[in-house]
Structures are given as structure tokens and as C-alpha cells.
Structure 1
Amino acid sequence: MNESFWTPIKLSLEIASVTIIIVFVFGIVAAILMRNLHFRGKVVVETILLLPLVLPPTVVGFLLIMIFGNQSPIGAAIEKLFGQSIMFTWWAALIAGAVVAFPLMYQSAKTGFQTVDPDIEAAAKMDGAANWKVFLFITLPLSLKSIISGLILAFARALGEFGATFMFAGNLPGKTQTIPIAVYIALDAGNMQLAWILVIAMIIISFVMLLLTTIIK
């Protein structure tokens, strides 16, 4: 029972923790670019960035298999480079979590950046501050609450990911069996005690995450 309970929790927390580092970097960069750049088709690009938020997880999983599967050029290149397919590995679970969590980080960061008064940034640039200094010492601090909220929501989303992870990473205890997958397997096996314990743990973690976002606001 102890291993069946703690292993999925440890793995889920591990994957979610690495996920928020990835989505933080890519979410911030994407938000900056979409805020500052103006080009034809910008709405389409932004819609694509947000698409994983509304797509069914199984569709996301299917697309990941098509992109990284052994039959795809990317999947074949990865297998040739590392000697194994990325599917049904820890990295597959990480990619699935990052894809579904990215839109939450991106949207929160973009919202935060949009609340910053452009006149303040312009004044700093007129005083000789470089663009990176303006971002680091003005834009980022003024957007910090939105960014932290985005990180928390992205963490919670990655923690609760099931469909895409199950399809793309599979159910390998200790490697890809996250909390949601462990709940499904326990229920399918009739192990209601384990299923209930995992569900309660997930509810507690999710509650704390949402509580933090409320407190920050």
C-alpha cells in the first residue's frame, strides 16, 4: 500500500515541478512576443497557443503520438539519437504535462504584462535603461502576482493530467504512473481503499493550489 500510494504522488509532484520550470520559460517568452509583436495572423497564432486548454486530453495525446511516435520524423530522430523511443518514458509524461499546462502560464503572464502601464516602461527606456533591464526591474515585478498565479495553476493542471499522459506515456509504475492514472488503475482493479486515498490526496493538493491563487489575488 505504501509504495502504491507514495510512488505516484512522488512522480506526479516531480513531473509537475519540472513542468512549471519549462512552461515558465516558454510562457514568459511567448507572452512577451505576443504582447510586443504585431503581425498578420497574430490571432491565429495565439489561438493555437491556447488550443491545448480546450482540446480533449485524448486528442492532445493523439497529436503527441503523431509528432513524437516512432513513425514520425521527430520520433525517429530521437530514437536514433538516444537509442530509444520517447514514448512510454518519464519524458513523455513531462511533455504531456507541459503541453496541457502551457496555456495557463501563457495566459496569466500575458494578462500580467498587459496590466503594466506602457508609460512607465517608456520612461525607463528614455532614461537609458536597456530593454532587458526594463523587463527585469519594471515589467516582471509589476506582473509578479499574475505570473505566480499562472505557475500555481500550471502546476495543478500538470498534476491532474490524465488522458494525454495515459496515451503518450502509458502506465508504468514508478516511471509514468501519475496520481490520476493510479486512481484509474486502482478503481479498475477494485482496490477502492487505494483509490480513495489517492483521490483524497489529490483533492487536498488541488485545494491548496487554488487557495494559494486566491490568497495571491
Structure 2
Amino acid sequence: MTNFELESFIAPIIISLKVALTASIVVFMFSIPLAFLMARKKFPGKSILETFFMLPMVLPPTVVGFLLLIIFGRNSWFGQTIEWLFNQPLIFTWWAAVVAAVVVSFPLVYQTLKSGFSSVEKEIENAARNSGASEWQVFRYITTPLSFKFFITAYILGFARGLGEFGATIMFAGNIPNKTQTISTAIYLAADTGNMTLVWLWVVSIILISFFMLWVVNRSNN
């Protein structure tokens, strides 16, 4: 393998890992308060809101990518605001790949965290409150430790989902080598051009990474 081929092979892996890492941190931190609120509170319209949260899980990724183009495109006020703030549009950038990964991985992370919070017995939390603990202390010392396995699972699932994202990414971020080209989009392009050597190298790479992450999830739950 020449230096050029080696760089062509490594670049999508590095971009994928950077996108998945950034997106998984963002979606994880964003999902914690939402999942906790939805697991603990009842309010009008809760089922509608939760259905909206879960939509990216059932919508075709290309539809998600198209909607992101509409929302963040240069013709929308939101897209124009971002372009004014950062002197460039969001679409077809590295951050667009991050946004796509956040959106498609959110339902998995949110639902896993919500299940974790729901698994904590309220009697234990109430006992802590009756002993004088504040809500933050209850969350930090009771709720979080008792649902910590779900935290690990949620983060890794979010990372893995972002790592393997294709449809929304190619619609919203494109497939620009050394910029927005992830493993999934690189496999698509290489297969389309008949470069099966690179295809197999990337396929094996993403299988190994995904296998390791799922192994960590299974190990943490046993």
C-alpha cells in the first residue's frame, strides 16, 4: 500500500471517530436532562413530544438528511444565522456530519437513559429526600450510581450509531474526501468505483470497532 493509499484509508476512519466522539458527547449530555425529565414528570402532550423524540429512529436516514438540509440550508433563517455567525454555511462541513450523527443517535441514547432512570426505585430516592438530601444530591449519589450501567450503554450505543451513520450524513454533509468523508460514505464511493480492496479494509475496520463497543456494552451489563 502506497503512502497515498494509506492516507486515503486512514482519513475516513479518523474523521468517523472524531465525528462519532463529538456527536456522542453532545447527544449524551443533551439526553440526560431530557430523559430524566420524561422519566419523572407527567404533563399534557408528553406522549406527542416523546413520539417526536423517537422519529429519527423510524424515519429513513435520507429523509432525516433532507429535513436537516431544509432546516439548516442557506435559504432558511436558521441556516442564514449560522452562516452570519461563523462566516460559512453549516451544510457540507465536518460539523454537518456531527449534527447528522447527533440527530440519528439521539433516540437510542434517550431511550436507554430513560429506561435507566425509570429502573431506579422511587422509594430509595424518597428516602434520601426525607433524610435531607437536595434534588441534586439525590441525582448524584442515588439515581446516577443505580443507573450507571445504562449510562455506559447509552453512550456506547450513541457512539456506535454515529460511527455507522450514512444516509443523513451523505445528504447533509456530503462525501468530501479529507473533510466530511466518513467510513460509511467512503465504502459507498469505493464500491461504486470498484476499489474492493479499500472497501474490505474499511468494512473489516468498522466491524472490529463496532464489535469492540458492543462487547464493552455486554460486559458492563453482565
| Cα-Cα RMSD | 0.8
Question: C-alpha distance in 2, partners of 1:20/1:13?
Answer: 10
Displacement of 1:161 after TM fit?
A: 0.2
Point out where structure 1 has 5 or more consecutive residues left out of the alignment: none
Q: 2:107 aligns with which of 103, 121, 131?
A: 103
Contact 2:100 2:172 in 1 (8 A): yes
**Corresponding residue of 1:195:** 199
Contact 2:28 2:158 in 1 (8 A): no
Q: 2:183 aligns with which of 168, 179, 184?
A: 179
Deviation digits for residues 60-94 of structure 1, max 9, x if unmatched?
A: 00110011000111001111121110000011000
**Corresponding residue of 2:148:** 144
Structure 1 counterpart of 2:64, one-letter code: V
Which has the higher mean CA deviation after the structures are superposed, 30-39 or 7-16? Answer: 30-39
Question: C-alpha distance in 1, partners of 2:24/2:82?
Answer: 23
Displacement of 1:20 after TM fit?
A: 1.3
Question: C-alpha distance in 2, partners of 1:163/1:111?
Answer: 28
Question: C-alpha distance in 2, partners of 1:209/1:37?
Answer: 32
Structure 2 counterpart of 1:179, one-letter code: I
Give percent identity, aligned residues only.
54
Question: C-alpha distance in 2, partners of 1:172/1:52?
Answer: 24
Displacement of 1:41 after TM fit?
A: 1.2
Question: C-alpha distance in 1, partners of 2:81/2:59?
Answer: 27
Residue 33 (structure 2) pairs with residue 8 (structure 1): no
Residue 72 (structure 2) pairs with residue 68 (structure 1): yes
Secondary structure in structure 1 of the residue aligned to 2:59: coil
Question: C-alpha distance in 2, partners of 1:186/1:47?
Answer: 37
Question: C-alpha distance in 1, partners of 2:153/2:178?
Answer: 30
Alignment of 1:35-184 (within 5 A): 35-184=39-188
Question: C-alpha distance in 1, partners of 2:205/2:51?
Answer: 34
Structure 2 counterpart of 1:16, one-letter code: A
Deviation digits for residues 105-138 of structure 1, max 9, x if unmatched?
A: 1111000011101011001111111101100111
Q: After the TM superposition, which segments of 4 or more aligned residues of structure 1 sit over 3 Å from their partners? A: none
Question: C-alpha distance in 2, partners of 1:198/1:105?
Answer: 26
Contact 2:113 2:151 in 1 (8 A): yes
Matched positions, count: 217
Question: C-alpha distance in 1, partners of 2:143/2:64?
Answer: 33
Question: C-alpha distance in 1, partners of 2:176/2:82?
Answer: 20
Question: C-alpha distance in 1, partners of 2:86/2:206?
Answer: 34
The TM-score normalised by the length of structure 2 is 0.96
Question: C-alpha distance in 2, partners of 1:213/1:36?
Answer: 25
Structure 2 counterpart of 1:32, one-letter code: F
Point out where structure 2 has 5 or more consecutive residues left out of the alignment: none
